[in-house]
């Protein structure tokens, strides 16, 4: 009996594991584009092979920001269960021919966690109820770090829940936009990293405008910088670097 209970508990414990989430933004030194073509091609291949080496441990979804922001060229959305693996992978990436010409102007670390505001508000695969992210299904990704005011945390739970209910209701008006909230308390400078996925940027713009009218916006301390990212396979992301 005890052995059976142990076997039944193990799958549940595995399902309850929380993921580490990293949004790593990279900028290419212009000197890299002046290298011989073969050197650039070799460096990109080394970078690609290194990412593939870690794909059994870390899910990597690639996005390009070329032509969108001036301070970063591409972003790797990395998701896994072992934080040291992120460090090992990064060290190897920076040692490649391409990596030697990369800087990291932004890198955000967070974890998945069940929201305290959606326990009685369930929809299929609803944001806030997932400990396992399934990203990369949409063309566009909008990412930003998020910090609330200290006054928010001094409110009662019912007061916060009421405002969040309004916030959630507004989100449901835009079913083409999918939200992924991850938590950074004690792990990084921000409190949350929010990542909105959509095939319709105009719908995301309208959603953000609507949320400005919500009462919760009174308790936003910081929600910048904001990154608009376009999803491509990693090979294409590297091609867009101009080399």
Determine the pLDDT at residue 11: 46
| Residue 201, helix vs strand vs coil | helix
Determine the pLDDT at residue 134: 81
Distance of alpha carbon 32 from alpha carbon 35, whole angstroms: 5
User: Would you kindly state where each structural domain of the chain is located, as residue ranges?
Assistant: 2-111+230-239, 140-227
**Are the C-beta atoms of 115 and 128 separated by less than 8 Å?**
yes
Distance of alpha carbon 24 from alpha carbon 55, whole angstroms: 16
pTM, two decimals, is: 0.88
Displacement of CA 236 from its chain's centroid (Å): 20
The class (CATH top level) of 2-111+230-239 is: alpha beta
The residue whose two tokens read 């909230």 is 181
Which CATH number applies to 140-227? Answer: 3.30.70.1030
Displacement of CA 193 from its chain's centroid (Å): 7
**Are the C-beta atoms of 204 and 142 separated by less than 8 Å?**
yes
Per-residue pLDDT of the chain (243 residues; tens, 9 = 90+): 445 445 445 544 455 899 999 999 999 999 999 999 999 999 999 999 999 999 999 999 999 999 999 999 999 999 999 999 999 999 999 999 999 999 999 999 999 999 888 765 444 444 445 577 888 789 999 999 999 999 999 999 999 999 999 999 999 999 999 999 999 999 999 999 999 999 999 999 999 999 999 999 999 999 999 999 999 999 999 999 997
Backbone angles phi, psi at 207, to 5 degrees: -60, -45
Determine the pLDDT at residue 131: 78
Please state whether 8 falls in left (phi above 0), alpha (psi between -120 and 50) or beta: alpha
**What DSSP letter does each residue of 46-86 carry, written as one string?**
HHHHHHHHTTTTEEEEEEE-TTT-SS-SEEEEEEES-HHHH
Domain pair 2-111+230-239 / 140-227, same fold: yes
Q: 41: number of CA atoms within 13 Å, CB side?
A: 3
- First-residue to last-residue Cα distance in the chain: 62
């Amino acid at each position: 009996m005890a052995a059976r209970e142990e076997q039944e508990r193990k799958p549940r414990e595995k399902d309850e594991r929380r993921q580490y989430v990293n949004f790593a933004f990279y900028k290419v030194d212009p000197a890299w584009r002046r290298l011989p073509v073969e050197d650039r091609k070799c460096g990109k291949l080394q970078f690609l092979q290194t990412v593939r080496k870690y794909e059994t441990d870390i899910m990597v979804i690639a996005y390009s920001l070329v032509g969108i922001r001036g301070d970063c060229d591409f972003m790797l959305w990395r998701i896994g269960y072992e934080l040291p693996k992120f460090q090992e992978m990064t060290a190897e990436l920076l040692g490649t021919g391409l990596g030697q010409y990369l800087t990291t102007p932004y890198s955000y670390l967070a974890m998945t966690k069940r929201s305290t505001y959606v326990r009685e508000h369930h929809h299929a695969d609803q944001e806030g109820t997932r400990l396992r992210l399934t990203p990369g299904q949409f063309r566009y990704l909008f990412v930003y770090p998020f910090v609330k005011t200290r006054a928010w945390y001094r409110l009662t739970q019912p007061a916060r829940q009421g405002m969040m209910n309004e916030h959630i209701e507004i989100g449901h008006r835009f079913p083409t936009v999918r939200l992924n909230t991850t938590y950074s308390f004690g792990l990084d400078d921000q409190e949350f990293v929010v990542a909105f996925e959509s095939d319709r940027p105009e719908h995301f713009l309208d959603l953000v405008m609507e949320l400005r009218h919500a009462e919760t916006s009174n308790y936003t301390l910081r929600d910048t910088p904001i990154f608009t990212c376009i999803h491509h396979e990693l090979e294409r992301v590297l091609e867009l670097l101009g080399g």
